[in-house]
Amino acid sequence: MPDNLIETPNTLDFCQIFTTPTKPIIISEVKFASPSRGQIYPGQLNHVDIASSYINAGAAAVSVLAEPNYFKGSIDFIKDIRAAHPELHILLKDFVLSKKQIAQGLLCGANAVLLIATFLNKDLLKELYDYSLHCGLTPIIEVHNALELEQALQVSPRVIGINNRNLQTLEISLDTSGNLIKHIPDDCYVICESGIDNAVQIQEMKDIGLDGFLIGSMLMRHENPGMELQKLISEVRNES
């Protein structure tokens, strides 16, 4: 998609979620299925209803799976959610490998995009990172290990996501966040991805420097994900 089609870059700064007084900072995910779990969501709410329930429960932002085959998502989900919630911070989550996908995300209403380091070589990561900024989107670089983190830090990112899932074994360990956070500069916001199931874990990760939490499966396995988020946020505040 040519750059000249990007006439109106996004003006919502996704990083605002880290500077608001709302705590904890949870990015709740619209995620109907996954390769490891198959169908996740057992309820009847659609993507807009789920996003609305998250907002009402206190989510700082909403992550939307756009990948259709493994996650039962759609780029149109972002368009629908943006139409319903003009000021919402929305993260496009997909296997982003091209500028076209980033431009589509912008045109549908995303204001942040996930770039997964394990699928991108150094040059492509830099190209997609710079193009995201050109579009006014906040690129969040997802890493799984020290090598990917080293690659990510070369572009001086504002936001890094640490995915605690080992993509080879699919096993999850919060030790991944604990190990990698030590090597991330203080001026970079850090999001904990995968493996968060309760308020105690959130407090432990906050204590070692994690800024935000992307939570999907734990919420989406309930008929009313927003109600589960509300309960989780209440428990976290009681832990603090």
Indicate which residues carry an active-site annotation: 29, 31, 93, 142, 163, 193-194
Instruction: Please name the helix (run of DSSP H) or strand (run of DSSP E) that holds residue 75, with its range, or none.
Output: helix 75-84
Q: Are 200 and 221 in contact (CB under 8 A)?
A: no
CA angle 11, 63, 73 (to 5 degrees): 115
**Strand pairing partners for 143?**
162
**Secondary structure class of 197 (helix, strand, coil):** coil
Residue holding tokens 């190209």?
127
**CA 175 to each of CA 57, 171, 213, 216: distance values in angstroms, whole numbers, following the listed order:** 29, 12, 15, 19
For residue 130, give the nearest of 156, 165, 95 by alpha carbon: 156
Residue holding tokens 């989107």?
137
d(C-alpha 199, C-alpha 213), whole Å: 11
Reported residue count of the chain is 240
Note the maximum CA span of the chain: 50
